[in-house]
Amino acid sequence: MTTRKSYIILFFLFFNCLLSIGQIDTLISIEAIEIVDQKILDPDSYFTLNLNNNSKQNPISSSLDELLSDQSNIFIKSYGSNSIASSSIFGGNASQTLVLWNGIPIANAMHGQTDLALLNPLMVDNIHIQKGGNSSVWGSGAIGGMIILENKKDKRLGNSLTTHTQLGQYGQFFEQLDLKFKLKKFASQTKLSLSENKNNFPIKINGTDQIIEQQHAQFSKKEVIQSFFLNVNDQSNLSLHIWKQIAEREIPPTLVQTMSNASQEDDYLRSILQWNRKRKNLTLHSSLAYLQEKILFSDQIQRIQSPSEFKSIIADVKGRLRFSDIDIILGLNSMRLSAQSDFYENIQREWRASSLLTFAKEFNKSKLQSGLRQEFFDDQFAPLSPFLIWSGQTRSFYYQAEISRNFRLPGMNDRYWQPGGQLNLKPENGWSQKLSLGFDQKHQIHHFDMKANIFNRYIHDWIQWVFLPDQNFWSASNIAEVWSRGFDLSTEWKAKINQKKWSILNQYTFTKSTNEVELEFPKTVKGSQLIYTPVHQFRNVMGFSSKQFSAQLRNRFTGPTTGINQNIESYFITNITLGYFNQWKSLSYSLRISCNNIFDQQYFIIENRPMVGRNFNLTLGVEFNTTNNE
């Protein structure tokens, strides 16, 4: 352990020495060195999906799971409106999608997941999706893909105030405020939001004509993000982000329960201090983060009162050396975790650290990237994780081929939960391959884009809770192996005719993610599809917008899945949004009306957890600004 700590100290000293070399002989504008960590390490932005929660055609989404369902073909596993939601990318599970906020992972260290229903997309400025393994670059958890959230400084001088108010059926209310203030060297951004929902929508009892109202399903959430940006001088800048969130939700009964009294309270505090500096061919990006999450689950009927809390301190530094057409990135990360629960013997602590080295060489119309990551926790080393990426462009054609080794460290519940936690668990690990192809053709008024991803991944030591021999309780075990393979295909056509914009988007995803080990309990047949993982998904979006009006029709088909006790039928959902936009001097305003689930289908994503039927909402947006481009 002493050797490892010395290694970390030497690494930090190395970066400081690099910064002290050389004299500044040129002035560099501060905007040119505003580094976002993931931008340094992005393999190719063409194959990164960028989501927009405030474009004319798109509806305003108050939660990230809703936004991903509306604007991507990622499968969202939701327990119901405002209930726990997670993602499955390329057949991975909820713990295998890494969620980053300004370059820092924000998953709950105890169960290893991020609840997408509690993330408000309007609280951040940019949202990017990267599909495929990224553990070699970003570390534990990035097996299926990544969701990247960013708070960015507005590049315009001046001030602005933006609000969104949304009213909907079944007690839905959402209010969002965004205040931006900027001087030449200092900028501040304050984002506030309040969300409430009764979720008392009608439910049809299976096999009968009886309709009941969903009970005990109220939801409320308050949150604020405060960001400060400071240009220290022409070579460096600082930023500070603080995110506070409090959510309360009742957990409704399933269709096989007569009542429920369960509820959950979530209290989050996230803060990040970042420093960027550039000198000649050296760029340094460093972050220091503190995360705290408190959860209180209670059920008066079962006489359960279960509090839990985790804290983490994360230090991350990356340096980029650029020589003509060669990039070298060196990185070091240290993470100190602590967690406590009534089901832990005492407060548990972990220390995780990692080192990263990447190399990139640019050619005429292509780029070769390679790298290596070594991560360790306590006294164990994670598998050494290399990656190799070849990407390029030939006229209108884009390509990217990559191979990488990916991993996920066991969550703290997997190791310390009593009974069933296992201290000797190994990290999930395996090799991933992906081939991405793209065609992008632009004409004077037309734009056609086509992308395809072909993926293959085999994960060993997949962690699963099972009944082991001679035990009468569930235990975490590296007993499973999972093979995921498939492809997704998207085509998009856009046209601008007489100042009117038209678009048609089609996306299809085929995913086979199968168990490769026979298990007795839970009963698992070798070759069977993972539970709650659809083989087929299809999405279609048709849009129109003019200076003042917009319309968007969204269709989504999700194939059948296997549940724990019963199969889930396929479903086809249609949503429509109409919008009106206008501007008077410095005041802009918009009005959107959406009808979701037009055909009022009762469908399930999780068995016996019904989703909301046909519902309407109205969103009013107002923006007042005095900004102008720098």
> In sequence order, which ranges of 61-183 are alpha helices (DSSP H)?
64-71, 135-138
Calpha distance 131→145 (Å, rounded): 4
For the stretch 465-515, pLDDT in tens is 998 777 888 999 999 999 999 999 999 999 999 889 999 999 999 999 999
Decide: residue 408, CB within 10 A, 0-12 exposed, 13-18 middle, 19+ buried: buried
Strands (E) in 395-548, as ranges, are 397-408, 428-442, 446-467, 474-497, 500-515, 536-545
CB under 8 Å to 526, separation ≥6 — which residues? 515, 516, 517, 518
For the stretch 164-211, pLDDT in tens is 999 999 999 999 999 999 888 999 999 999 999 999 999 988 767 789
What value does the mean pLDDT take over residues 140-147?
Answer: 94
Tokens of 48: 């990164």
Whether the ω angle into residue 522 lies within 30 degrees of 0, i.e. cis, is yes
CB under 8 Å to 290, separation ≥6 — which residues? 269, 270, 271, 311, 312, 313, 314
Provide the pairing of β-strand 97-101 with 145-150.
Answer: parallel
pLDDT above 70: residue 10: no
Identify whether the C-beta of residue 494 lies closer than 8 Å to the C-beta of residue 447.
yes
What value does the mean pLDDT take over residues 142-160?
Answer: 88
Q: What is the dihedral of CA 418, 421, 424, 426, to 10 degrees?
A: -160
The distance from CA 367 to its chain's CA centroid, rounded to whole angstroms, is 27
For the stretch 595-609, pLDDT in tens is 999 999 999 999 999
Calpha distance 531→524 (Å, rounded): 10
Calpha distance 290→271 (Å, rounded): 5
Whether the ω angle into residue 610 lies within 30 degrees of 0, i.e. cis, is no
Start-to-end C-alpha separation, the chain: 50
Q: What angle do CA 59, 101, 166 make, to 5 degrees?
A: 25
pLDDT of residue 8: 38
For the stretch 237-270, pLDDT in tens is 999 999 999 999 999 999 999 899 999 999 999 9
Hey, how many other C-beta atoms are within 10 angstroms of the C-beta on 213? 12
Calpha distance 264→221 (Å, rounded): 12
Decide: residue 526, CB within 10 A, 0-12 exposed, 13-18 middle, 19+ buried: exposed
What 3-state class would DSSP assign to 9?
helix
Tokens of 128: 């990017």
Residue 45 or 115, more confident: 115
pTM given for the model? 0.91
What 3-state class would DSSP assign to 381?
strand
Nearest to 517 by CA among 455, 456, 464, 457: 464
Calpha distance 94→115 (Å, rounded): 9
pLDDT of residue 258: 87
Average pLDDT in the chain: 89
CB under 8 Å to 324, separation ≥6 — which residues? none
pLDDT above 60: residue 397: yes
Q: Is the dihedral of CA 1, 318, 290, 126 positive or negative?
A: negative
What are the backbone angles phi and psi of residue 424, rounded to the nearest 5°? Answer: -90, 20
Provide the pairing of β-strand 236-250 with 567-568.
Answer: unpaired
129 pLDDT band, cuts 50/70/90, is: very high
Rg (the chain; Cα; Å): 25
For the stretch 573-587, pLDDT in tens is 999 999 999 999 889
Calpha distance 596→603 (Å, rounded): 13
The CA distances from residue 534 to 464, 505, 513, 518, in Å, are 20, 21, 9, 20
34 pLDDT band, cuts 50/70/90, is: very low
Identify whether the C-beta of residue 290 lies closer than 8 Å to the C-beta of residue 273.
no
